[in-house]
Chain A
Amino acid sequence: MKSIDNIVSLSKNGRVVPVEPRADIRDISVSENEAVLLNILHVSGDVHVRVRLAGAGAKCVLNCIYLSNENNMNNIVLEVLHESKNTHSEQKIKGVATDGGQVALTGVIRIGKDAAQSVGLQHHRGILLSEKAQIAATPRLEILTDDVQCAHGSAIGALDERQVFYMMSRGIPEQTARPLLLKAFLHDIVPDDWHAVIDDWMARNV
């Protein structure tokens, strides 16, 4: 069976920066008033990303999707380090685990002592598609200064059966409804040209 590789895309101030998965993205430094968008599609292995908001006014949006099935262990560590004042970060993490898929996610927001008036946000939602699948999410907030905004939320659960019934009540068979809901759940935070990769994974695993 063809397997999907992890995909990463990085842009700075709206311009695409070529990255090698595994190498370049380990450490990303964002300078004064620079804005970074990092997208990750993670299907297997270890990934450890550290974004340093080094200059004042630096911004980072980090979107991460994980897909986990029987064959894979997904180890994901995402760190955002606020090192200067008035820096902003937003992490959106979503994923699904099916069969015996295992996901370990650690999300770190560290706001250093020189990073007053910074905003750090992290949202995670994971969907378990089998009783054997496991998602363990560990958010870590380290806040060393006052006058910051920080929020994180993590929710792990099954697909919402009310949504499945609503779709079925409109004539959509269950085997169409479930993948449609999952694709919709994942598509919105990654680039459009990744959708086919996600759909392909769904077709083979859900």
Chain B
Amino acid sequence: MSLLEIKNVCASVGDKEILHDFSLTIGAGEIHAIMGPNGTGKSTLSYVVAGHPAYRVSAGSIMFKGKDLLAMTPDERANAGVFLAFQHPIELPGVTNALFLKTALNAKRRFNGEPDLDAVQYMKRLKARATALGVSDDMLKRPVNVGFSGGEKKKMETFQMAFLEPDLCLLDEMDSGLDVDALKIVSDAVNIMREKHRSFLIITHHERILEHIVPDVVHVMIGGKIVASGDKALAREIDKGGYEKYR
């Protein structure tokens, strides 16, 4: 069974249809990359899968682990195993990373019919993951994304992802605004998370991130749909020749 099956989806924001008859299937354990020029609907795709209320799906279906994803609220989707790493992570003044992740983890546990972790169990788990990913105690005590640099925000997105252990990771332009060192930190974390049951969808403008995270399938997206698919050689070809021949 596929992990994610998007079939013939049309989606719009306001009056503007952005995804046109879009289809994509991702199997368990696969890494897919979607490349495309600006304004082609890549971020819309990630918002539609995560359930952003501003995006309306007018046709088609999205199945996740055999369940109708479109019938679920954003928090239900997350707890079922979908994680969206934001292109522009949102600041939450006054909400520390430690509190944020505790609330999220216990929400997931309740969703799965498990009891909340107590403070000691939680801190133990948080510290273990933080150490593994180089996240300091100080960062955990700071409010979510407030005063963090672009690179730090992306690092914390990756940390949230590793901590919550989703099955489908959507990385929306994770590489934008990252220097080489930050890109390596983020890529290393993704590579550590690669498992048979976990899939990734990497949305990007550039081939650069795909040198660090090697995809199984590369798709080219233009005008709200996929126009070509191939292996990692396709990413290299686009890096050299651009999108012109696909328009």
Contact = CB atoms under 8 A, between A and B. Distances in A.
Interface stretch (A19-27, A111-119, A163-171): A163-171
Interface of A: 161-163, 165-174, 176-177, 180-181, 183-185, 187-188
B147 interface: no
A167 B92 contact: yes
Contacts of A168: 51, 73-75, 78
Contacts of B39: none
Contacts of B107: 170-173, 176
Contacts of B90: 162-163, 165-166
A188 B94 CA distance: 7
B246 interface: no
Nearest to A189: B94
A188 B99 CA distance: 15
Contacts, number: 73
A162 B145 CA distance: 13
A47 B30 CA distance: 62
17 contacts: A165-B90, A167-B104, A168-B74, A169-B51, A169-B74, A169-B75, A169-B84, A170-B75, A170-B83, A170-B104, A172-B75, A172-B104, A172-B107, A173-B73, A173-B107, A180-B95, A180-B103
A171 B93 contact: no
Closest 9 pairs between A and B when the two form their complex, measured CB to CB: A184-B94, A171-B78, A166-B90, A168-B74, A170-B104, A171-B79, A168-B75, A171-B107, A184-B95
B50 A171 contact: no
Contact of A165 (B52, B83, B160): B52
A177 B89 CA distance: 16
Interface string B80-122: 0001101001111111000010011001100100000000000
A171 B75 CA distance: 4
B108 A171 contact: yes
B170 to A, nearest CB: 10
Given A170-B164, A184-B143, 16 more contacts: A163-B90, A165-B53, A166-B90, A167-B100, A167-B104, A169-B50, A169-B75, A170-B75, A170-B78, A170-B83, A171-B75, A171-B111, A172-B75, A173-B107, A174-B73, A176-B107
Contacts of B75: 168-174, 177
Given A171-B108, A171-B164, A166 B103 contact: no
Contacts of B83: 169-170
Max chain A C-beta neighbours (<10 A), residue from B51, B92, B108, B160: B92
A171 B82 CA distance: 9
B184 to A, nearest CB: 25
Nearest to A187: B94
Contacts of B103: 167, 172, 176, 180
Contacts of A188: 93-94
Max chain B C-beta neighbours (<10 A), residue from A168, A169, A171, A173: A171
A110 to B, nearest CB: 30
A170 B160 CA distance: 8
